[in-house]
């Protein structure tokens, strides 16, 4: 039976041989997805994950079992990504399908249709950029739960346990986050204003 995350993190804190390596193996792909969601560049996402793993190891004694280990790791990663963005240590944006076949993380990309026209691809990238701008306008709690759900591959029940809150709270937070993102897009994107129901764009 696979060791649960809390027991594995206890092993990391105590310095049990192989525990940290197991944690890295378990979390690195999910952390990569989160990092790519923030940074939209393969190399930047890899850098952020590597820096985060180093910080996790150095700060392992500061972890408290009251919080889920992945949520703790995701917060460290989020701070790392935001720091990279603020320091403009980011490369040009990419979509996951642009990552070379032999690069780490390539197998978790979302493939696009080979028939997708260049204009459609550009429009999709622009939408992604505006969505990220909207996500960064969310309050920290909403942003964290939204990212865990949509980029961290966490189920609603897992987020509730990780955050120590009721399932209904997670659902309502996601609902408010989605509404805030939609409102931001309607206010800032003419294309969304044109599609918004009458009265919503005001």
46 near 4, Cβ under 8 Å? no
Q: What pLDDT does 175 receive?
A: 94
Give pLDDT tens digits for 159-168: 887 777 899 9
Which of 23-32, 38-47, 96-105, 174-183 bottoms out in mean pLDDT, i.e. has the lowest?
A: 96-105
Which of 20-29, 38-47, 149-158 bottoms out in mean pLDDT, i.e. has the lowest?
A: 149-158
| pLDDT of residue 183 exceeding 70 | yes
Mean pLDDT of 145-166: 82
Sign of CA dihedral 164, 29, 143, 178: negative
CB neighbours (10 Å) of residue 130?
17
Mean pLDDT of 79-105: 60
Query: Which two three-digit tokens encode residue 144?
Result: 């964290």
Q: Exposed, middle or buried by CB within 10 Å (0-12, 13-18, 19+), for 161?
A: middle
DSSP alpha helices (H): ranges in 40-103? 42-58, 69-86
Q: What pLDDT does 49 receive?
A: 95
Domains detected in the chain: 1-111 (1.10.1740.10), 116-202 (1.10.10.10)
Mean pLDDT of 63-88: 85
Cα 105 to chain centroid, rounded: 14
CB neighbours (10 Å) of residue 35?
29
Backbone angles phi, psi at 59, to 5 degrees: -100, 15
| pLDDT of residue 201 exceeding 50 | no
| pLDDT of residue 141 exceeding 90 | no
Query: Which two three-digit tokens encode residue 21?
Result: 């390596």
| pLDDT of residue 125 exceeding 80 | no
Q: What pLDDT does 27 receive?
A: 93
Q: Exposed, middle or buried by CB within 10 Å (0-12, 13-18, 19+), for 66?
A: exposed
Mean pLDDT of 79-104: 61
Q: What pLDDT does 13 receive?
A: 94
Mean pLDDT of 52-67: 91
């Amino acid at each position: 039976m696979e060791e649960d995350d809390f027991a594995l993190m206890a092993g990391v804190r105590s310095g049990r041989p192989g525990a940290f390596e197991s944690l890295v193996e378990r979390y690195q792909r999910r952390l990569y997805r989160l990092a790519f969601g923030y940074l939209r560049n393969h190399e930047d996402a890899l850098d952020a994950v590597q820096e985060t793993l180093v910080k996790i190891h150095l700060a392992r004694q500061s972890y408290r079992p009251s919080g889920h280990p992945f949520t703790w790791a995701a917060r460290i990663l989020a701070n790392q990504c935001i720091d990279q963005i603020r320091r403009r240590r980011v490369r040009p944006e990419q979509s996951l399908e642009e990552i070379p076949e032999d690069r780490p993380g390539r197998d978790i990309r979302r493939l696009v249709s080979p028939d997708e026209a260049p204009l459609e691809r550009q429009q999709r990238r622009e939408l992604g950029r505006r969505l990220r701008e909207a996500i960064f306008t969310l309050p920290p709690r909403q942003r964290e739960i939204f990212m865990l759900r949509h980029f961290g591959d966490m189920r609603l029940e897992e987020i509730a346990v990780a955050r120590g809150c009721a399932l209904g709270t997670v659902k309502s937070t996601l609902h408010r986050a989605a509404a805030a993102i939609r409102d931001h897009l309607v206010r800032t994107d003419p294309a969304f204003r044109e599609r918004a129901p009458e009265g919503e764009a005001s």
